[in-house]
Structures are given as structure tokens and as C-alpha cells.
Amino acid sequence: MLQETENKLIQRRIEKLEELRKDGIDPYFNGFSPDSFAQDLHNKYDKNVKEGLEEKNIPAKVAGRIMAYRSFGKAGFMKLKDFTGYIQIYAEKNSLSEEDFKLYKKLDVGDIIGVEGVLFKTKTDELTIKAKKITILTKSLRPLPEKWHGLKDKELRYRQRYLDLIVNDETKETMLKRAFIINSIREFMIKNRFIEVETPMLHKLVTGAAARPFKTYLNALDMELYLRIAPELYLKRLIVGGLDRVFEINRNFRNEGMDLKHNPEFTMMEFYIAYKDYTFLMDFTEELFDFILEKIGVEDNKIEFNGKEIDFSRPWKRLDFYEGLKKIGNVDDDILNNKSKALKYALELEKKVNDNMSHEKILAEIFDALVEPNLINPTFVVGYPVAISPLAKRNRKNPNITDRFELFVSGMEVANAFSELNDPFDQKERFLKQLEERKKGDEEASMFDGDYIKALEYGLPPTAGEGVGIDRLVMLLTKNPSIRDVILFPLMRDKDE
């Protein structure tokens, strides 16, 4: 029934389009250029001009989509929306030419029009443009959902993001805030003398993280390639080359599960700085967050997310990996010291583990299940074992762990950082161990990158590096619990599947 009604409305709009063409009006006209934006007009005239605005005869030329239409015979109001906001339009027969008033009567909610007129305020003190000329720029053939009062179906909102942006202002605000957050990050990095770079998306090898890749094929070179899971090794090659401070904000691709925190393609910032270590990065990360929070107007460094208050006040908590397992996860020493017991326990927690995995990787899965959900305020987890940190530098006091941290906020990993391994012999040995893991069936283990070893042999200065998940950061700062709400076009299963 709903589909039948929509089809009738579409057909009526098509008929109106044909009527316009018969009247010599182009329903897809390109040649109207507005000189004002809705929000700018409100900022200038809402408070500054109380009365007598119409007598000033101030012209305004705007363009946008009709979001509301009320006609009273010889006059009526429209609510016009451009990318900055809304402005009311008043159309009356006496102020328009006969052709333009006839056009006005044929307009529908959703049509995109251009309006030229003068400003005035209604009896309710609403800033309005009295139309002198109306130009149709695009005839909308499909009616907006629920007469634009809201698009509630989440799945439809993700599939038809263009429609979501039209009718849900909160979606537009989220995406604008995302852009502002990313710009703030860039500003902070450039202010600290980092150089923004771009590295390849197509990789010959799977390196830089523990993840399952997407495969593709380059016909021109008869070569199998992978969409990158991380830009890490390319960025560190740049440090070898003498670009001591580099960062990249771009996409990574991981052929893994999808949930509230994971999307197969996601945005990260990775940055590397020579002559620093991971302890420096903790302070630097706190400074970065301070900068962003101030930019977006967060007071007292506190936000709410998923019904809980998160306090970003410095300094943030430091938590040792093994201490977290014991004190927060209540994991017994025999599980920490015995692989078979750890495997049994992880299986009881319904984690996807197997006997081919290292003891440390199994413990990481237990940490994921029992510790991470309890890390609400920003927490740096340190002391990760070498076996699950193939690119991180060993700790000088304890060679079984690395100089690495992961930052957790509201139970989510938001950043991963470490002092970079720059010993080519150690790195080669760890790559070989990763190859052994791959042979045992671990699809997330790194491949052997001989050219990267060669680069290390030329000399990588002491370096610290970090990756920050942009999507998760935006989730936190826009109070969106799902990653799909902060990505313009999240991947969706086909409807007929």
C-alpha cells in the first residue's frame, strides 16, 4: 500500500516535470548563483535588526531544497535548506511575475530552487525572504520520507546516506564535526612540525599490523596485491630517508568481522617521530586530545558516552598488561604461565583461539574479553609481550615485553603506539617467527619484508610511532555508539541476501 502511494506521488511529480517543460521551463536549470547562505543571513540580521528591515530593501539571493511548503491560495511560505541551515521564503502573487507564481504553485517538498528577493521579518520575528523571482534548479521526483519529519530506519539511513543527510540534521552535524576533528588533528600535527605524506594503498606484502587482508590483482604487472592493513613500514622508510616527523591520515582495509566498533575500511592517523620513545608519545597523545577537546568546545575535559562520564583530565592512567589480567580480569597465575590452561579458559570465554596460537596471543584474547570493557576513562595499557608486538622495541629491563602502549577509552582501543624496533637482526628474527605463525594457519601474521630489513640496515634512528583510530575518536566525541554512524557510506550487506 505504501509503495503504491509512493508510486502515485512519483508519477504526479513526473507529470509536473512535463508540464514545466511544456511551459518552456528547464526543470534542471544550471545558471543560478546564490550570493548568500542561510546561516550567514541569520547571523547578520536575527538580532542586529529589530524592525524596519523590509524598508531597508536588503536583497538576498539563495538556493536550496524545499523542506516545507504551505500555500494559502495567493500566498504561502516555504522552508528552504542549504548546507548551512534554513531560511524561510514568502511567496505572494503580487510580488512575483505571473510565470513565477504559476511555477511556485507547482513546486513540491524536495525540489531545489533559487530565490531572489528582499529580507523582512514576520509577526513572529522570523527572518524571511520575500520572493521577487523563483527559479527551479532541480525537480525532485521522489517524495521525502514522512514529509521530511524524520528517517528512522537505521539500515535505510546507512544505505541511502544522501537521504539521511537531507532529512536528519543530526547526521549532517556529526559529519561536519568529524571534518572539524580531522582538521584539528592536522592543525596540531603541522603545528608540531610534522609533514603530511601519502603512502601506497596497494601492497605487495601484508605487514604493519595483525590483520587479515583483502586481495586484489594488477593485470598490468601480472601481480597479486593486497589492500593495505597499515602504512607503518612505508612511513618508517621515510624516517630512514631523513623525514624525521611524518603523519598520514588515510584508509586501512582489513578483511575481518563487522560490529559496532569495526568496519572493513576505516580511517587512521599514523605518525612517526625520530629521537623520541613511547613515553614521549603518551604525553603527546594527551596534548593532542587536549587540543581537539578545546577546539570542539568540551568543558572540563569531560564527555558522556554510552551513558557514562569519561574524564580526559591529565595525567591518564597507566596499566600493565599482566597486572590488568590479574587485577581487573581476575586471571590466575596458572593461566598466565600455562598455555594449555589459557587456551581452555579462552575457549570458555567463547574467544576464537586455537592451539596454533602463541600463549601470549591467547592471553591477549582473554584481555580483550575481561579487561578492555572495564577501561572507561583513558588508560594506557603498557608492558605488552614481544610475541604480539613484532614491530616494537624490546624493553631494556625486561626483554620479554616491549616499549608499547595501547590507549583504551570506553572499552575501545583508540590508539596503538611503541618505540620502533630499529635493530635489523631482531626485526628479521621476528619476521621469521611471524612466517612460522602464518604456516601454522595464522592469517593475521605478518609476511617477511626483505626491503624493509634493507632499509633498517641503512639505519633507522630511534623512533616512536603511533596509530590513532579516527572513526572511534569521532564516535566518542559525537556520542555515537556505532562506527556506522560516523562513516558516510558504511559497507552493507545486499538486501536480497
From residue 433, give the alpha-carbon distance in Å to each of 157, 229, 245: 45, 19, 30
Residue listed under C-alpha cell 572495564: 374
Nearest to 250 by CA among 237, 264, 266, 263: 266
Residue 211, helix vs strand vs coil: coil
Contact 415, 466 (CB under 8 A): yes
Residue 348 inside a domain? The answer is no
Helix or strand or coil: residue 402?
Answer: strand
pLDDT (tens place) for every residue of the chain, 497 residues total: 556 678 999 999 999 999 999 999 999 999 999 999 999 999 999 987 666 787 888 999 999 999 999 998 899 999 999 999 999 999 999 999 999 999 999 999 999 999 999 999 998 999 999 999 999 999 999 999 864 445 667 888 899 999 999 999 999 999 999 999 999 999 999 999 999 999 999 999 999 888 899 999 999 999 999 999 999 999 999 999 999 999 999 999 999 888 999 999 999 999 999 999 999 999 999 999 999 999 999 989 999 999 999 999 999 999 999 999 999 999 999 999 999 999 999 999 999 999 989 999 999 999 999 999 999 999 999 999 999 998 899 999 999 999 999 999 999 999 999 999 999 999 999 999 888 888 888 888 889 999 999 999 999 999 999 999 999 999 999 999 999 999 999 998 887 64
443 and 308 share one domain: yes
In the structure grid, which three cell numbers stand for residue 285, read together? 597523545
Task: Classify residue 84: in a domain, yes or no.
Answer: yes
**Do 275 and 196 share a structural domain?**
yes
Residue 115 in contact with residue 134, Cβ under 8 Å?
yes
Nearest to 14 by CA among 143, 113, 134: 143
CATH number at residue 42: 2.40.50.140
C-alpha dihedral sign at 92, 97, 98, 103: negative
Q: Which helix (H) or strand (E) holds 367?
A: helix 359-370
Could you tell me if 198 and 280 lie in one domain?
Answer: yes
Residues 477, 485: Cα–Cα separation, whole Å: 12
As a whole number of angstroms, the distance between CA 268 and CA 473 comes to 10
Compute the half-sphere exposure of residue 176: CA atoms within 13 Å on the CB side of its CA. Answer: 11
10 Å CB burial of residue 252 (0-12, 13-18, 19+) is buried
189 & 113 share domain: no
Q: How far apart are the first and last CA of the chain?
A: 24
The Cα 81–Cα 415 span in angstroms is 38
Count of structural domains, the chain: 2
Q: C-alpha cell of 41?
A: 543571513
Residue 153 domain-assigned (yes or no) = no
Q: How far apart are CA 238 and CA 232, in angstroms?
A: 10
Please tell me the pTM assigned to this model: 0.91
Q: 473 lies in which domain range?
A: 167-329+371-486
Within-domain flag for 346: no
